Amino acid sequence: MQRRRPDRDPAFRRTYESARVQGVTFPATVSAGTGVGDSRPAGRPGAGELLDLLRARAHGGTTGTPVTHVERVPARPGTVVDWPEWVPAELRAALAGQGVVAPWRHQAEAAGHAYAGRHVVVATGTASGKSLAYQLPALATLLADPRATVLYLAPTKALAADQLRAVAALGLDGVRPACYDGDTPRAERDWIRAHSRFVLTNPDMLHHGILPGHARWSAFLRRLAFVVVDECHTYRGVFGSHVAHVLRRLRRQAARYPGTPRSVPGQRGAAGGPGPAPDGPVFVLASATSGDPAAAAERLTGLPVTAITEDTAPRGGLTFALWEPPLLPPPTGGPDPAHLADEVTAGAGLDAAPVRRSALRETADLLGDTVAAGVRTLAFVRSRRGAEVIATTARRSLDEAVPGLGARVAAYRSGYLREERRSLEQALLGGELLGLASTSALELGVDLVGLDAVLICGYPGTRASLWQQAGRAGRSGGEALAVLVARDDPLDTYLVHHPEALFGRPVEATVLDPANPYVLGPQLCCAAAESPLTPADLELFGEGAKEAVDALVAGGALRRRPTGWYWRHTGRPEVDLRGTGGAPVDVVESSTGRLLGTVDPASSHFQVHPGAVYLHQGVSYVVDDLNLDDGCALVHAEEPDWSTHPRDVTSLSVVSVRSYLDCGPVGMFLGEVDVTSQVVSYQRRRLASGEVLATLPLDLPARELRTVAVWFTVSPESLAAAGVEAAEVPGALHAAEHAAIGLLPLVATCDRWDIGGLSTANHPDTEAPTVFVYDGHPGGAGFAERAYRAASAWLSATRDAIAECGCEAGCPSCVQSPKCGNGNNPLAKPEAVRVLDVVLTNLAKMAPAEPADT
């Protein structure tokens, strides 16, 4: 049964009228710093009441409940300690003016380690005040030593801008904080280099701008006392491996300039501040709660790091609900149009009716409900398109019920211009916006005071991200509500019915591999371009550096001289930290020349191919042309009655085998593979019915990727013995592949968009039925290795997710994939269970063998 539209739903109007009678006005402006949670009257719904309201209104009053589990995290008090004696009175007074009268114990402990010269990572929960842990030693040093400088690194521009607001609000003389990133006007950059003592930037700008121009930054680097690495748990996979070497390059350049100050126990300068030490700045890292944060921080920095993990901050109670959209019967005339807007179904093939209501539509309705109740809410969604769809749908629903109320909802995502992002951030902080649909750009650290509820559209891939997103609400200490809305996806379905996999379990360890040769080689080229490499530098860059340099010399990238290894070319090495494939593609309105936003190159083939529908702040555009050489997509405004869904093809070849398990009829392998993929066509589907109107060819270049994969082979004889007929083998392997990709985040710190897969009934390199799952990053990201080591647990969960699903022939909750280039055809659900039974039975008998000689 379809959910009622708000304009036909008396309950929606009653919710709005109830809020209005209680004193909530729309569109009212909430004072900055107080938040809706503080300014609304006492009669507004609390977390439990709000959940009951949402549950009662769900699906137009149909029977049953979408809530599969409710976890209540109790409130706890905080532990306050005295200010450390080295914190100057001026800083204490400034913090008191911002409402910070004393530190929590973990803040003081971490700050003490840093001020004493020890590298430290503070890994505590969301809203635990990690910022103060690095602000105390950094600002105390800047006040005590007028020469010292501090470099702050954030993974997103929004977080750096938020930290700039916080430091600037203290009003400390001589600190002169400033953001230096891609949005900084060039006229301001010279002033920042010359005068700012607290520079806030991101790894990309450090890599592309600061380190290549280190001579212009020599005064700043010479005095660098602290390097703050905020939200360091986000530096994982290939991105994290690149950032690890960027930090080593920073350490290397700082060491080239004598006189770098550092806090050292018992050693103070004439002004009472820290005295200089020869081994560089102190690193202070902040992380969400993660598994083994000290080891991750040491891999990231290449330095010994002390971990502070006990969270002593107070925490308001949290009601955390798991929400599964309902199963829907096939509506007359075709699929539910709401599904067609969902990124989960893009390219998934909709020849059969959708099984569940779209998670995007469900989240949009919940966002509208909470805004109507006067509850300040942030909805997280995994894709840019999803954020646009949720915001647009919620706005329309609210405006249909109460004209003008939709203006209190907006989307927030990467790809917006700087002015748009800053305007949205200010509107949310100031209270002009009550609801925001955001990608993970607002997951990190930004202090969104007064949020009462968080909606999470689809499992974000890791428990660390899940708790980070849920922690955005309740930051003022009050009760908060978090709702995880499950997508039609094997992992999401598994989790909402197995809450023990989410709650009461430690979060994942951060996975990164600085020795990845596809990262190490390019980063050594960058270092050599900045200044010649020496044998001592190779020790700094760690395992594999000497072999990588020798390969670079043999390949003509570096030249050996008595004084070191030199970069041979005139231009700088082109190295992309985030693996997006180069410079962003500009999206330009063809009639006006107006820049609408940007798309990363890796996504451009899917999002802005010729004929694609592109969404921007609720406005629909159609792509006229994609010029990859110029990095530009030309679009025109149009609202067609169809959606677009790209289709791609993939081939894979085995390069080498690193390790394997010989389990008789089953083999489990880990090794390197070459993957070739190409977007070859796209479908136009009618919005009203899902009918395929046309399949149109595309002429886009193929993309090639050498990466790491885990794969298993099964002998045809064992499959036949298990009751899998030869005709069903392709569909059985295809279904098992999809489900295995969906469940891999249970054992590896990734999400399904980090990985890919391929299955075949007879692969030419293995000469057997084979299922491959590979890392979607050059050189691998460590995910396949995790899958290989935890193969039994991973494939057991995969088997259970398929077997326990209530569908007959397979659905997005078990074996259909949102990324399938073959339209989810063929699929054989019962036979996939039998295939996995054969694999698991034989895996249980064997132990790892030595790597094969290949």
What's the pLDDT score for residue 766? 95
pLDDT greater than 50 at residue 308? yes
Distance CA 239, CA 512 (A): 8
Among 230-234, 676-680, 806-810, the minimum mean pLDDT is found in 806-810
User: Bigger pLDDT: 821 or 589?
Assistant: 589
Is the CB of residue 307 less than 8 Å from the CB of residue 297? yes
Rounded Cα distance, 446 and 156, in Å:
10
- pLDDT of 595 above 70: yes
CA atoms within 13 A on the CB side of 50: 31
**pLDDT at res. 394:** 92
The pLDDT value recorded for residue 641 is: 87
Residue 10 scores a pLDDT above 80: no
Confidence of residue 596 (pLDDT cuts 50, 70, 90): confident
User: Between 595 and 710, where is the model more confident?
Assistant: 710
DSSP H or E stretch at residue 144: helix 130-144
Q: Can you tell me the mean pLDDT for 274-278?
A: 40
At residue 727, the pLDDT reads 94
> For the ranges 57-61, 95-99, 288-292, 400-404, which has the lowest average pLDDT?
57-61
Q: Is 112 exposed, middle or buried (0-12, 13-18, 19+ CB in 10 A)?
A: middle
Residue 14's pLDDT is 37
749, pLDDT greater than 90: no
Give the mean pLDDT of the chain. Answer: 82
Residue 780 has what pLDDT?
A: 82
Return the minimum-mean-pLDDT range out of 36-50, 219-233, 722-736.
Answer: 36-50
Q: What pLDDT score does 516 carry? A: 81
By the 8 A CB rule, do 316 and 477 touch? yes
> Is it the case that residue 376 has pLDDT exceeding 70?
yes
Q: Which residues contact 190 (CB under 8 A, 6 or more apart)?
A: none
More confident residue, 162 or 169: 169
- Tokens matching residue 123: 């890994």
Mean pLDDT in residue range 43-55: 78
Alpha-carbon distances of 257 from 214, 271, 280, 542, rounded to whole Å: 10, 22, 10, 22
pLDDT at 238: 80
Question: 264 vs 374, which has greater pLDDT?
Answer: 374
pLDDT reading at 549 higher than 90 = yes
Nearest to 578 by CA among 807, 414, 692, 767: 414
Spell 72-107 as b/e; 16+ CB within 10 A means b.
ebeeeebeeeebbebbbeebbebbeeeebeebbbbb
Percent of the chain surpassing pLDDT 70: 83
422 band by pLDDT with thresholds 50, 70 and 90: confident
Q: Which of 379, 383, 410 is nearest to 600 (CA)?
A: 383
**Phi then psi dihedrals of residue 646, to 5 deg:** -70, 155
pLDDT of residue 156: 84
How sure is the predictor about 506, in pLDDT bands with cuts at 50, 70 and 90? confident
- pLDDT recorded at residue 751: 64
pLDDT at 479: 83
- Of 29-33, 379-383, 680-684, the poorest mean pLDDT is in 29-33
| Range in 214-228, 384-398, 711-725 with the lowest mean pLDDT | 384-398
**Structure-model confidence comparison of residues 602 and 208, the more confident one:** 208
| Burial degree of 704 (CB within 10 A; 0-12, 13-18, 19+) | exposed
pLDDT in tens, 327-340: 776 544 444 434 43
CA angle 547, 542, 509 (to 5 degrees): 125
Alpha helices in 302-358 (DSSP H): 337-340
Q: What SS3 string covers 596-655?
A: EEEECHHHHHHHCCCCCEEEECCEEEEEEEEECCCCEEEEEECCCCEEEEEEEEEEEEEE
pLDDT at 116 (0 to 100): 95
Contacts of 109 (CB under 8 A, 6+ apart): 308
| pLDDT band, very low/low/confident/very high, at 580 (cuts 50, 70, 90) | low
Higher model confidence: residue 475 or residue 665? 665
- Percentage of the chain lying above the pLDDT 90 cut: 48
- Banded model confidence at residue 16, pLDDT cuts 50, 70, 90: very low
Say if CB 285 and CB 297 are below 8 A apart: yes
Check whether 620 has a pLDDT greater than 70: yes
Tell me, what's the pLDDT at 274? Answer: 41
- Is the confidence at residue 137, as pLDDT, over 80? yes
Q: Among the listed ranges 2-11, 133-142, 492-501, 749-758, which one has the minimum average pLDDT value? A: 2-11
Alpha carbons 778 and 674: distance in angstroms, whole number: 10
Specify the pLDDT at position 329: 62
Measure the CA–CA gap between 498 and 509, rounded to whole angstroms.
21
Quote the pLDDT of residue 854: 37
Residue 21 is predicted with a pLDDT of 32
pLDDT for 387-410, tens place per residue?
888 998 999 989 988 888 989 998
Of residues 382 and 679, the one with the higher pLDDT is: 679
